[in-house]
Amino acid sequence: MSQYSPPFSITNQMLMLVAQIAEKTGRICHFRSFETKPHLRRNNRIRSIHSSLAIEANSLSMNDVKSVISGKTVIGPQKEIQEVRNAYQAYDMLGKFDPYSIADLKKLHGVMTYLTVQESGTFRSHNEGVFRGDRCIFMAPPPELVPDQMQGLFDWMKRSREEVHPLILSSVFHYEFVFIHPFSDGNGRLARLWQTALLSQWNPIFQYLPLESHIHKFQEGYYAAIATSHSAGNSDAFIVFMLDKISLTLDWALQQASEKDAYLSLEVQKLLDIMEYDVPYSAAQLMKKLCLKSRDNFRKLYLLPTLEQGLIVMSIPDKPTSRNQTYIKI
């Protein structure tokens, strides 16, 4: 049996985009902002989750997603709320699984679709199509072919990981995965997460870049690139689309990384400086650490702005004024 190799060509346009991305990635790493500003990492992770779910018609807003992740009560469809919880857990596993393992792929699908689909963590047993709204872009291969096609794709990735640049390899995988459509639901979300996982092995900074936000922004182009590649019988158009959006994401991240913390007041920065991550503090403890006596000033200048920016959360979000309330830096 011959080994499978996805049909694609490496063009001058792709090589130019790869060079641009490599240069921008180096500049971002120079800033080291994502190491020193954990709130940027968290906010970008929230952007990734919101955008990837929105592409799949999840109606929750960015604030809703942030509230669900922070443990607050959100009014909305329970399936969509569960999808946020699942996605947050799945993205939190970035760097902890092998993106060249089919077993890990199924495990992550099980996490991402927990309590939302019947065939969770297992390949589909029925026919599926790739849809944009009510329009079918193409029908996926029949379910009996999925195991062999996925094995062929993963075998190709393992053979090619030292020969094909990760930027191109991950984009080829993304398209091929969408084409095979191996699961009954969650294929788009998992394809985007898996490309991020592959890119993160090349450079860990990709764990905290919201690539999904730019795919969401150019959603029509995303589906058009999939359709064009399907018609052409190769993934060239999709590779160029993804490389371009990765480059745009890096442009945005460079601007974000180079900005000073001007949007964080001195009081907010002081509060964050005296708190350790994941340690609960009462208001009295925080005021003592800050050497403050006025509770009103503490709430107005320190506590409320930090809560509003999602940099800390309440241990009892449903009862903000509880005497047992504590605050946790995340």
Identify whether the C-beta of residue 116 lies closer than 8 Å to the C-beta of residue 185.
yes
- pTM for the predicted model, two decimal places: 0.80
Residue 279 has pLDDT above 90, yes or no: no
pLDDT per residue over 38-85, tens digit each? 767 888 899 999 999 999 999 998 889 989 998 989 999 999 999 999
**From CA 290, how far away is CA 276, in angstroms rounded?**
14
Q: Is 161 helix (H, G, I), strand (E, B) or coil?
A: coil
Closest CA to 98 of 31, 197, 167: 197
Nearest-Å Rg of the Cα atoms of the chain is 22
Exposed, middle or buried, 106 (CB in 10 Å: 0-12/13-18/19+)? middle
Query: Per DSSP, which regions of the chain are E strands?
Result: 129-132, 135-139, 280-281, 312-314, 327-329
pLDDT per residue over 150-161, tens digit each? 999 999 999 999
Residue in the structure block whose two tokens are 């945005």: 252
Exposed, middle or buried, 187 (CB in 10 Å: 0-12/13-18/19+)? buried
Closest CA to 68 of 188, 77, 44, 111: 77
Q: In this structure, what is the dihedral angle of CA atoms 318, 324, 325, 326, given to the nearest 10 degrees?
A: -140
Query: Per DSSP, which regions of 104-199 are E strands?
Result: 129-132, 135-139
Per the prediction, the chain carries an average pLDDT of: 92
DSSP 243-307: HHHHHHHHHHHHHHHHS-GGGS-HHHHHHHHT--BT-EE-HHHHHHHHT---HHHIIIIIIHHHH
Average pLDDT on 24-32 reads: 82
pLDDT per residue over 181-194, tens digit each? 999 999 999 999 99
Read off φ and ψ for residue 314, nearest 5 degrees: -90, 145
Residue 262 has pLDDT above 60, yes or no: no
**From CA 234, how far away is CA 125, in angstroms rounded?**
26
Q: Which residues contact 258 (CB under 8 A, 6 or more apart)?
A: 31, 33
